[in-house]
Structure 1
Amino acid sequence: MTGELFPRERAEPGPGAVHVPDWLAPARQRALVEACRAWARPPAGLRTVHLPGGGTMTARQVCLGWHWYPYGYARTAVDGDGAPVKPMPAWLADLGRTAVRAAFPDGGTAAYGADGTTAYGVGGTAHDDGAPVPAYDIALINFYGADARMGMHRDSDEQSTAPVVSLSLGDTCVFRFGTTESRGRPYTDIELRSGDLMVFGGPSRLAYHGVPKVYADTAPPGLGLAGRLNITLRVSGLGG
């Protein structure tokens, strides 16, 4: 949205959680949309995720680096076509590290956990304060149509406490960010628009979060995308 009376400002909805509006430039957004289109093609392409209880996720998903399925990781699309998962591009892992630096320019335990330099259990490039910047090796790309939602959940299947990096493309959504204790209140509703960055780590690494609403037809006109793409970058801590 342009021409607003007051520009959107950086916000911290929880300890170790940071929302940076308009972080991705329009050209970078367009490049990411084209990359997502390529990743979504088979093999190991965009799929519908079936939950153990019999339900299905309304947002469709494709994975890079490690394939997520409820509730674990594999090197093949075990709940899809069984093909090897597409590799995690080095440039996308670098974008994750850049995002962490943008969210936490001073480093510290909010980004890196209480044990500082040993928070990740994986190698990484040193941050300015000496703490390692994580080596991101997972990308979960979720595509939301106008009627898609994501229930309150925690990103808890990794063996690393590295911050979660979330990049938004396309339609605006309501991102509901809660606490680590429960799926219910208190929570904060944040409007995520195309190009926004959301990072949560430290005390908020296992906070419940979800997407209760997507606003159709709100994507930037020049993006060429109907719907919302969310690129979530994580550190697996799984090795190998």
Structure 2
Amino acid sequence: MIEVRNLSKRHGGTLAVDRLSFTVRPGRVTAFLGPNGAGKTTTLRMILGLARPDAGQALINGRPYAALPEPLRRVGALPAAGGAHRGRRARDHVRWLALTHGIPRARVAEVMELTGAAAFARRRAGALSLGMGQRLGLAAALLGDPEVLVLDEPGNGLDPEGIRWLRGLLRGLAAEGRTVLVSSHLMAETALTADHVLVLAGGRLLADTSTRDLAGGGGAAELEESFFRLTASARGGTAPGPGARGGEPA
């Protein structure tokens, strides 16, 4: 379980995360939604111990990430910036992680096959497409067979077949009782994948509810409209029209 308690973080004069509290429970896919600058990535970085909060706590199974024994076996992470050395071959990146964390080498082959990264195992990370890089990052995240997954935009760069595969992977992991937290801008995919949603804007939590309830029992279009109403209200404005949504940065 992931617990965020009164978490706050400033970047210079900007309050990126403002007294944020929520719980991500096992057995379901939880989507983390919000416009650019909402504080999602900053929050994920604090959960993963990559940034220090100014106030509050981010706990995984009751402990900060830095205090977890064998963290790669507890938490699988796909940060926004990735993590593979550009000059290292894809397979060697995962092998190095396995070696340094005491994970059997056989597990490397398993996760490379599972994520489709085996198809480009000999290519150097710097030569991979965005979608390939995401698959390699997912292989690394799954290496320790973790009970908690924290994934920042895992669908970036994946083609429609890859998105469909990712949906099945995430739902399968949740069905095994794992805790799955996924940051996303893809409303249609969120409607198909997520059981629960957290909506953030201006560093504050606007919604913590089931996907079905936020969508009013509807599908992707209704979820999108609810999202825009919430975030527009938080900005003190009105939801943008269809023409204003195209080209929104991810």
Larger Rg: 2
Whether TM exceeds 0.5 here: the answer is no
| Greater helix content | 2
| TM-score normalised to structure 1 length | 0.29
Structure with greater proportional strand content: 1
TM-score, normalised via structure 2 length: 0.29
